[in-house]
Structure 1
Amino acid sequence: MAPLTSEFLNFIVFRYLFESGFTHAAFNFGYEAGLNTSTINGHLVPPGGLVQLVQKGIQYLELETNFSNDDTDMDEDFKLLEPMDLITKSVDELRKIIKEKKEKAQKKKLRGKGKANADHKREPTRRTEMEKQHKEKELEHDSERSDVMVLEGHTSEVFACAWSPEGSLLASGSGDATARIWTIGDGPFNSTIPNVLVLNHLDSQATEENKDVTSLDWNREGTLLATGSYDGQVRIWKRSGELASTLNKHKGPIMSLKWNKKGNYLLSGSIDTTAVVWNVKSGESKQQFGFHSGQLLDVAWRNNDSFATSSADSMIYVCKVGENKPVKKFSGHQNEINAINWDPLGSLLASCSDDTTVKIWSMKQDVCLHDFREHSKEIYTIKWSPTGAGTSNPNQQLLLASASFDTTVKLWDVHQGRLLHSFNSHREPIYSIAFSPNGEYLASGSLDKCMNIWSVKEAKLVRTYNGDGGIFEVCWNKKGNKVAACFANKKVCVFDLRL
């Protein structure tokens, strides 16, 4: 390519000024630039030449940066960079910006923006014999083929999974507009083929677009499964796969869905900025709460009639059924709050945010009790250990775990307000963590396609399972001998642990 000479650049700047009506400025600029002696044929320069040159330069830089960015997949359109970034930053800096923005975009996609591709019947049905053929993938490290069951049938990313309280049923929710209930036997994996129920979220007039199953939760008895969808509807299913009720109140996708312990109320949070408490018995909304100014990203019950909500507006509200105003509000985060979680006693609330902090709140004060700042990137999820007062493991220390886009999992001693351990084995953002029922182990799932099992007491990695897709969620069964993980490659894997 021929170099861009200062003479040509001066000429197209002169033409830009002249064409824009800045006649006096154009004359002065042309005189000082000596364009009266220029050999450039002005008839060959098209109108708007400067604008076209800048636009094409920006497009070239953005194309180069996207094509050269090996860390993430190419986007379908180029809207990740601002023009000023392209003009002022180096290509390496631009690649870093794109990587970070793609990681955030993946997080948004995880919240229910996947597309569905499958064609399903209206009523829940059992899979055909072809669907029942599941294959066990060879996994690396210290796992064996008999340790892993691969559940296939979803036709899009699997965003959520949850074991029933009694432990033999595993639910999964996908971008293919279905949830599935898998029956996992106690016998060796290579001797059983799991039955599965397909819970279709399409009616006869609907298309699969915007029917992603974004969240799901079992009631305490394991008799009912609630699912939240990108279509804004909450559905309640019997464990037999029968649709018990469809709840309509939200005007946007459901981001979080939780049963209270008693099982009489179901709580949902939506992009429409509201939370709704549903009376499960009547199938009607008990109360709608609209205090937030941004998308609701998580909800968490404190007890059977009070709960907390977190939002993209950086606020947390504690609400109570029957009250028309929040009973408490917490402010202090500087960016959207991705997750909130009450400790087992309901006295402390943990929150994590894109502002890279974990905060601990008490109902006894307005400012946060602790402000943990050891993470360097967005923190997507937090979990309390099932230990300490109010749990089945009362003699063990209560801990909080957090997982971040900085590829680390951190364990916190909340009572002393300090970091205990940092687990650093993952190579990509971590979307999910889960404690084993006895609190001795912690599972983590990452976009690096690995699920890691950590010993909490010894603070070390004890097992790694390598898959062929990013992991969006991990969960333990009641006995603590199986961990399920849902993948971006449309599969659900169940790992039989012998720790």
Structure 2
Amino acid sequence: MKTDFKFSNLLGTVYRQGNLVYTSDGTCLISPVGNRVTVFDLVNNTSHTLPLAHRTNVAQIALHPRGQLLLTVDEQGHAILSHFTRRIVLYHFSLKARVSALLFSPCGKFFAVALGRKIEVWKTPSTPGSSDSPEGNEGGLEFAPFVRYRQYVGHHDEVQNIEWSSDSRFFLSASKDLTARIWSLDPEVGFTPTVLAGHRTAVYAAWFSEDQETIYTVSKDGALFQWQYLPPAGADPDNISADDERWRINERYYFYQSQDHAHLTTAAFHAATNLLVTGFSNGLFMIHELPSFSEIHKLSISASQISTVSISPDGLWLAFGASTLGQLLVWEWQSESYILKQQGHFDNLNALTYSPSGDRIITTSDDGKVKVWDAASGFCIVTFTEHTSGVTACEFAKRGNVLFTASLDGSVRAFDLIRYRCFRTFTATKRLSFSSIAVDPSGEVVAAGSLDDFDIHLWSVQTGQLLDQLAGHEGPVSSLAFAPNGTSLVSGSWDRTVRIWSVFARTQTSEPLQLQADVLSLAVRPDSKQITVSTLDGQLTFWSVSEGTQESGMDGRRDVSGGRKISDRRTAANVAGTKSFNTLTYSADGSVVLAAGLSKYICLYAVETGVLLQKYTVSVNLSLEGTQEFLNSRMLTEGGPQGLLDEQGEASDLEDRIDKSLPGSKRGDAAQRKTAPEVRVAGVAFSPTGRAFCAASTEGLLIYSLDAGVQFDPFDLDIDVTAESTLDALAQHEYLKALVMSFRLDSPKLTTHIYRSIPVSDIRLVVRDVPEVYLERLIGHVAKEADTSPRMELNLLWTECLLKVHGRVLKERQRDFAEVVRLLQRAVGRMQGEIMKLADSNAHAVEFLLAQSRTGSHGGGESRLMSGVEERKEDGEDGQWIGLD
């Protein structure tokens, strides 16, 4: 089995903090998620996470006007410049201070960054291989890419916002010192930096109008000032000198202030449409049209304050982010409809599982919610909120679309994932907090274990009745699993035993397996012949189900041992409490075991040899506890570690000084907890195809997959294989040669062009003669085309030829082609659903037209359904519908 899994996507977290940025075409939205950045494609309804990772949470992001360069800065001022389209990290740089605002100039040659009270303008590094590279560089990498152009000092408090003029000659800055200032990029004749003072609270933002004759400033108390270059009020217009004219307040507007003393938290202005969008601390947002200040919309979209707002380049879509609840919304204000509405889990993840088809991932959390994620698009498609307390475990039935969950509220629930509803609730004779669950392969029996009681409860799925309580354990039941063949139930307990129950036999017997420490987790191999058990002492043991004997074991304490916490007085290797595995899972073929626990590592072991094959790092985010490897003496003070000192009372704003969180709480509101969250992995699961696995971590739902793209194969390349020679082969009707050459070049666009250019009559010949080494790539490309392009008949012809010609190979090598065949099956299913919907719609439309025609003929008058539609009659039969012209 391949073990070179790479990080591919991050689900379960859609927004944490910072600003939101649209791409230049307005089709994608860029959102910071912890120490990573996720891109949401609003047109194709997909999302992907960029491979870059900061050492702390991302605070500000900015996109180059041309859409090539993405600049991200974390909370410590470390910047990463990456190529946005190629997803490649170009440079690392440190700005050496916390960044509060970041923006590229419209010309793209500079970017301005606010570092506390000062503003710095830097030259934009050149893009490798582009035409905008400086002379002498020829599009290559620069030795010193970040060059500071100029520094501006004058504000007395933190700068909150920066806005450039359209010609990139001037920019505005808004600060907490109650003022906004006008700066020039280069010294201008007759221009001096101007201070715009008059607000009573901190100025949040300042903007230029489209003609740059007007400046708008908005403050925290909801005051909007309109500034224009005017002479003094009451001056004689005939005796006005140039020295008398200056920027003056022309109009003052004030937003509606509710009874709960809500204040302005974010604002954005679209100069082309004069659209002003403001967000408030009570979750309310307002849309106004300037300069008349006429209110267009007022709507409450969140239960907490709106952290940021962004307007698309065309001014039609508004993006809102709420960091307290982790919400991300894209709203079209003209039609008053949601383009995107996503929210991650409010609390820590507890468990996850794949659906049997592999296209859905289910996550559970302490917030009592069960979310269903689409593995392909990365979006949450449904959220179940029936549980009233934390959901601790979940498992899919092997047959049907039924999901079972166990919760601390004392119930086990069954959800129908076709109708998206809870259809069965299972409860015990007394109130228990269930912590583990197992489902019979037939889907008829569900079992649950609790940490409050030592019995295992069994229910009938059909009737919902409690069938039995299995007694035998002398400690809380920590883990449950049914054997895939359905013959037995395996349970692990804190009494240091694992029991194998014959629940379907006439006499329910259990065979105990004695271990040396408390059992934390167990898993049964897909062939039902072996189980693996994780214990509190960090040991992994493998047991034979039929013999009841131990086959092998390994010590995983050194492998799983993670980083140190900020308060630890020992090194990471000697920290207690992180040296055991809390979750286990087998791969689809049973050859490897994936294990994780309360650390930042996920370990992949070979079952036969017991060798550690791979070790994956969940996160390098220093904002989480348990990710640092070494002690940083610079962070130690006389009062203890600097991260544990309460600096909240030194904040300048009153609401920032008020502490609303519980002391020492590690769960709850991620934006208000006093103690940093700890890195941990609560669950891991392999996909049914074995090509990917997911992990429920503190950062969110991490997906690791094998490289699904075409690998670069230099052994198949020679000097004659180029894009030009490939197109020449296509022009000479050498279709197979052109297709194979495009696969060798690993060019998706070129492959798509050749795929669509092959005549229909030659498709079967090309499919028949394609080398078997390129068969997986061809099937994957056909599946991608069938899922995205509108050429339905062409895609179905390719699919038919592939299955007819290579069906035997696909059946014999199911393991190698499982992923691409599943993608092809899903694409065909989607097309089938669309065709059925269209057919049903047409049938209803024809029935309606027939009914209307009969109604019109009985009424005695001529009835026309629409212009250009005529009724034709044949054979002299009145009322017979023949067709529509």
What TM-score do you get using the length of structure 1 for normalisation?
0.54
Shift of 1:275: 0.7
Matched, 1:227 2:363: yes
Matched, 1:339 2:339: no
Separation of aligned partners in 2, 1:452 and 1:247: 31
The residue number in structure 2 matching 1:435 is: 586
Shift of 1:430: 1.2
The residue number in structure 1 matching 2:604 is: 453
The residue number in structure 1 matching 2:417 is: 280
| Superposed counterparts of 1:102-181, under 5 Å | 118-119=16-17, 128=30
| Superposed counterparts of 1:40-55, under 5 Å | none
Where do 5+ consecutive residues of structure 2 fail to align?
A: 1-12, 20-26, 38-50, 59-85, 90-300, 305-323, 326-344, 559-578, 621-626, 628-678, 708-885
Shift of 1:334: 2.0
SS at match of 2:303: coil
Amino acid at match of 1:332: G
SS at match of 1:335: coil
Matched, 1:204 2:344: no
The residue number in structure 2 matching 1:289 is: 426
Shift of 1:441: 1.9
Separation of aligned partners in 1, 2:703 and 2:56: 12
Separation of aligned partners in 1, 2:28 and 2:436: 32
Shift of 1:434: 2.3
Higher mean C-alpha displacement, 411-420 vs 256-265:
256-265
Amino acid at match of 2:501: W
Amino acid at match of 1:249: E
Matched, 1:444 2:595: yes
SS at match of 1:322: coil
**1:237–1:368 CA distance, 2 compared to 1 (3 A):** same
The residue number in structure 1 matching 2:522 is: 382
After superposition, what is the alpha-carbon deviation per residue over 1:467-499, rounded to whole angstroms, capped at 9, x for unaligned? 7646524444455465555555779474869xx
The residue number in structure 2 matching 1:72 is: none
State the structure with more CA Rg.
2
Shift of 1:276: 1.2
Amino acid at match of 1:423: M
Aligned mate of 1:300, from 438, 448, 463: 438
Shift of 1:462: 4.1
Contact 1:219 1:263 in 2 (8 A): no
Shift of 1:366: 6.1
After superposition, what is the alpha-carbon deviation per residue over 1:356-385, rounded to whole angstroms, capped at 9, x for unaligned? 221111112666522112232x32211111
Separation of aligned partners in 1, 2:364 and 2:545: 32
After superposition, what is the alpha-carbon deviation per residue over 1:408-451, rounded to whole angstroms, capped at 9, x for unaligned? 01100111011111111324121222222221222322445444
**1:297–1:431 CA distance, 2 compared to 1 (3 A):** same
The residue number in structure 2 matching 1:178 is: none
The residue number in structure 1 matching 2:552 is: 421
Q: What is the total number of aligned residue pairs between the two structures? A: 317
Contact 1:347 1:362 in 2 (8 A): yes
Matched, 1:406 2:542: no
**1:434–1:242 CA distance, 2 compared to 1 (3 A):** closer
Separation of aligned partners in 2, 1:448 and 1:133: 18
Shift of 1:189: 10
Shift of 1:223: 4.1
Contact 1:151 1:492 in 2 (8 A): no
**1:219–1:484 CA distance, 2 compared to 1 (3 A):** closer
Aligned mate of 1:322, from 449, 462, 465: 462
Contact 1:483 1:496 in 2 (8 A): no
The residue number in structure 1 matching 2:514 is: 373
Separation of aligned partners in 1, 2:350 and 2:546: 34
SS at match of 1:327: strand
**1:381–1:204 CA distance, 2 compared to 1 (3 A):** same
Amino acid at match of 1:304: G
Contact 1:316 1:330 in 2 (8 A): yes
Shift of 1:116: 12
Separation of aligned partners in 1, 2:465 and 2:693: 40
Separation of aligned partners in 2, 1:225 and 1:356: 32
Contact 2:448 2:458 in 1 (8 A): yes
Contact 1:153 1:491 in 2 (8 A): no
Contact 1:431 1:471 in 2 (8 A): no
Matched, 1:311 2:450: yes
**1:416–1:481 CA distance, 2 compared to 1 (3 A):** same
Separation of aligned partners in 1, 2:387 and 2:56: 26
Separation of aligned partners in 1, 2:554 and 2:540: 5
The residue number in structure 2 matching 1:253 is: 390
The residue number in structure 2 matching 1:139 is: none
**1:283–1:442 CA distance, 2 compared to 1 (3 A):** closer
Contact 2:410 2:431 in 1 (8 A): yes
| Superposed counterparts of 1:61-80, under 5 Å | none
Separation of aligned partners in 2, 1:150 and 1:401: 35
**1:477–1:190 CA distance, 2 compared to 1 (3 A):** farther
Shift of 1:347: 1.5
After superposition, what is the alpha-carbon deviation per residue over 1:133-179, rounded to whole angstroms, capped at 9, x for unaligned? 969xxxxxxxxxxxxx77789979xxxxxxxxxxxxxxxxxxxxxxx
Separation of aligned partners in 2, 1:496 and 1:241: 17
Separation of aligned partners in 2, 1:380 and 1:403: 6
After superposition, what is the alpha-carbon deviation per residue over 1:384-426, rounded to whole angstroms, capped at 9, x for unaligned? 11225xxxxxxxxx11001122110110011101111111132
Separation of aligned partners in 2, 1:345 and 1:459: 25
Separation of aligned partners in 2, 1:237 and 1:317: 29
Amino acid at match of 1:306: V
Shift of 1:242: 5.2
Separation of aligned partners in 2, 1:369 and 1:463: 36
**1:451–1:241 CA distance, 2 compared to 1 (3 A):** closer
The residue number in structure 1 matching 2:353 is: 217
Shift of 1:338: 1.6
**1:284–1:374 CA distance, 2 compared to 1 (3 A):** same
Contact 2:587 2:593 in 1 (8 A): yes
Separation of aligned partners in 2, 1:316 and 1:345: 20
Separation of aligned partners in 1, 2:353 and 2:604: 23
The residue number in structure 2 matching 1:351 is: 491
**1:235–1:374 CA distance, 2 compared to 1 (3 A):** closer
The residue number in structure 2 matching 1:175 is: none
SS at match of 1:128: strand
Separation of aligned partners in 1, 2:28 and 2:486: 40
Contact 1:359 1:368 in 2 (8 A): no
Separation of aligned partners in 2, 1:442 and 1:220: 19
Separation of aligned partners in 1, 2:599 and 2:379: 36
Separation of aligned partners in 1, 2:496 and 2:536: 9
Identity over aligned residues, as a percent?
Answer: 18
Separation of aligned partners in 2, 1:448 and 1:235: 24
Q: Which has the higher contact order (CA 8 A, sep 6+)?
A: 1
After superposition, what is the alpha-carbon deviation per residue over 1:282-332, rounded to whole angstroms, capped at 9, x for unaligned? 333212111153211122210223211111212211211232432232111
SS at match of 1:314: coil
Higher mean C-alpha displacement, 471-480 vs 366-375:
471-480
Contact 1:399 1:411 in 2 (8 A): yes
What TM-score do you get using the length of structure 2 for normalisation?
0.32
After superposition, what is the alpha-carbon deviation per residue over 1:106-148, rounded to whole angstroms, capped at 9, x for unaligned? xxxxxxxxx9993599xxx97627669969xxxxxxxxxxxxx
